[in-house]
Amino acid sequence: MKKVCVCLVLALIAMGFSMQSASALPPFNKEWVAKYNADGKNAAYNDAKCNVCHAGESKKMKNEYGKATGKFLSKAKYNEIKEDAAAAQKYIIEGLQKVEGEKNAAGQTYGELLKAGKLPGA
């Protein structure tokens, strides 16, 4: 019985080390806010927070804008360059600029929606 408990504890510890954290999300959000809501005056953006890109309770669920953003920004690529703060910031800003040209299902570009102060994923 003691061996079983020890093995179970070791398995849980191994699982804990193998899980990836969401380290890329705060920098993406930080640059998004700096670009589109630096003054903090857009109440819709303030209320939406993570739901600008995500839908529902699970952060794995993305709305239309989140899926479009995922074409240009990835956690894996960010993790490769995150040690170089300038390169990481440039990567995020360029990705956000690229997604502005993408169109939603209604045919509007995300850039148009953002300039109008509307939530791009709504």
- Show me where the domains of the chain are located: 23-115
Please state the rounded mean pLDDT for residues 11-19: 48
Question: What's the pLDDT at 80?
Answer: 95
pTM across the whole model: 0.74
| Tokens 């939603």 -> residue | 104
State the pLDDT at residue 25: 66
Output 115-120 pairs: Cβ under 8 A, ≥24 positions apart: 117/42, 117/44, 117/45, 118/44, 119/44, 119/45, 119/48, 119/52, 119/65, 120/52, 120/64, 120/65
Per-residue model confidence (pLDDT) at position 24: 39
| Model confidence pLDDT, tens digit, residues 27-68 | 999 999 999 999 999 999 999 888 899 987 788 899 999 999
Q: Which residue has the higher pLDDT, 57 or 3?
A: 57
Whether 70 has a pLDDT exceeding 80, the answer reads yes
Contacts of 20 (CB under 8 A, 6+ apart): 75
